[in-house]
Amino acid sequence: MPRMEARIIHIGIERSADTVYAFASRPENMPLWASGLASGLAPTNDGWIARGVLGDVLIQFAPSNAFGVIDHTVRLPSGQEVYNALRVVPNGTGAEVMFTLLRQDGLSDEQFQADAAWVLKDLTALKAIMEEEGYNMGQKGIDTQIDNIEFVVADIERSKLFYGAAFGWRFTDYGPEYCEFSDGRLTGGLTTMGTIRPGGPLVILYADDLADMQKRVEAAGGTITQPVFAFPGGRRFQFLDPDGYELAIWSDK
């Protein structure tokens, strides 16, 4: 195979390389910033499957590593494999994220330029997420206000898949026994350190479209305990997550 034309597309992010890598290397997080995977990824024995109108795409990622390497191969429905080199490297207290775009056979100049613009758009979305105010774990909270919710779970990966699929939460791993989640406003933790005690304070989420949210919860594996009911100010339903924690979702619409 002849050498392909290459273009390095990169963006600087004001967040530590370790934090960026921890977030960006998680396949379940990629639909939040990689627009080509917006439909989501499903784990399989061989890698991760992205479903599209032209068929299933198999994606295989480099193992977790200390060097910021997020390289991955994409196997198209035609059988063609495309290698994507994606790296996160330290740059002072921030990070550089670099994608090596290879010009595939048969692409016109305009198509190659469009591919480059697409990659830059995705990296820009990643930058916006990582630089979002309050993203860092451990940031000082506001006195007397609720700052964190922690769930003791049996399987962190299972919980991440559930909450990622149902609500689009983002995750950052801090070792094998603790993972931080963020819904864009509130952060909390998933941990295997402790005893699972379903119940406790009821966590209530908000939804613009209550019916759609119930469908997403059920599709992700949640169990409805109280169907939608009205209360002064709105409507809500309650459900159990895979570990038996009961949560509620309400809407004023």
* pLDDT computed for residue 139 by the predictor: 44
Tell whether 143 is covered by a domain. Answer: no
Q: How confident is the model at residue 1 (pLDDT cuts 50, 70, 90)?
A: low
DSSP string covering 193-232 = SS-----SSPEEEE-S-HHHHHHHHHHTT-EEEEEEEEET
CATH at 232: 3.10.180.10
Neighbours of 139 (CB within 10 A): 10
Q: What is the token pair recorded at 201?
A: 């304070």
> Region 48-70: what's the mean pLDDT?
84
Q: Give the span between the Cα atoms of 224 and 208, in whole angstroms.
A: 19
* pLDDT computed for residue 54 by the predictor: 61
What backbone torsions phi and psi does residue 26 show, to the nearest 5 degrees? -80, 115
Tell whether 1 is covered by a domain. Answer: no
CATH at 31: 3.30.530.20
Q: Give the span between the Cα atoms of 242 and 219, in whole angstroms.
A: 12
Contact 244, 229 (CB under 8 A): no
Q: 132 or 213, which is more confident?
A: 213
Residue 120 has pLDDT above 70, yes or no: yes
Q: What is the mean pLDDT of the chain?
A: 84
Tell whether 104 is covered by a domain. Answer: yes
Furthest-apart CA atoms within the chain: distance in Å: 68
Q: Give the span between the Cα atoms of 17 and 112, in whole angstroms.
A: 28
* pLDDT computed for residue 217 by the predictor: 93
Q: 23 or 70, which is more confident?
A: 70
Query: Do 10 and 125 share a domain, yes or no?
Result: yes
Contacts 24+ apart (CB under 8 A), 209-213: 209/251, 209/253, 210/235, 210/236, 210/237, 210/249, 210/250, 210/251, 210/253, 213/249, 213/251
Query: Do 159 and 97 share a domain, yes or no?
Result: no
Q: Give the span between the Cα atoms of 36 and 54, in whole angstroms.
A: 13
| Range list of H helices, the chain | 17-24, 109-130, 156-167, 210-219
Query: Do 84 and 181 share a domain, yes or no?
Result: no
Residue 135 has pLDDT above 70, yes or no: no
**Number of structural domains, the chain?**
2
Query: Do 14 and 123 share a domain, yes or no?
Result: yes
Q: What dihedral angle (degrees, nearest 10) is formed by the CA atoms of 85, 57, 220, 188? A: 0
